[in-house]
Amino acid sequence: MTTNMPNDLYAVADFCLIPIGTGESSVAEYIAECHRVLEKSGLTFKDTCLSGYATNHEGPRSEVSKAIHDCHAAVHAKGAPRVATDIRIGTRVDRDILAGDGNDHKVRRVEEILARDRATAS
């Protein structure tokens, strides 16, 4: 275990923000507002809510938490009386993670393994 810990851990977060009580069947406008907040944050993010049910973003832990807070505030300001969010946040200190590459290296590694499997099966 590393004993020389940085002041602000690098974090990768997965969160699903759910506006409640809007009286609308679609929450797309609210999700778009959260997307705008994340764009302004400067953090690296993949808005998988456009194709699924979550958003992944990464950066210093304090900034990641602030971005989720700011999404809540923006969605409330847009008119949602309640907002529920499921959050998973991971940090690691056992290896250096390049900023913006927190999840990408994991995805590339899995893709390499699957490509190897396909090549072996051919």
Question: For residue range 41-60, what is the model confidence (pLDDT) as tens digits?
Answer: 988 887 655 556 778 888 89
Q: Is residue 76 part of a domain?
A: yes
Considering its fold, how many domains does the chain have in total?
Answer: 1
Residue corresponding to tokens 């907002």: 83
Query: Does 22 fall in a domain?
Result: yes
10 touches 78 (CB < 8 A): no
Domain harbouring 16, CATH code:
3.30.70.930
**pLDDT at site 1:** 45
- 117 is a domain residue: yes
Domain presence at residue 5: no
pLDDT of res. 47 = 65
Q: Is residue 2 part of a domain?
A: no
Q: Is residue 62 part of a domain?
A: yes
CB atoms within 10 A of CB 73: 12
**Domain extent for 51:** 10-121
pLDDT digits 0-9 by tens, 71-97 = 999 999 999 999 999 999 998 887 766
- Residue 44 placed within a domain: yes
Residue 83 domain flag: yes
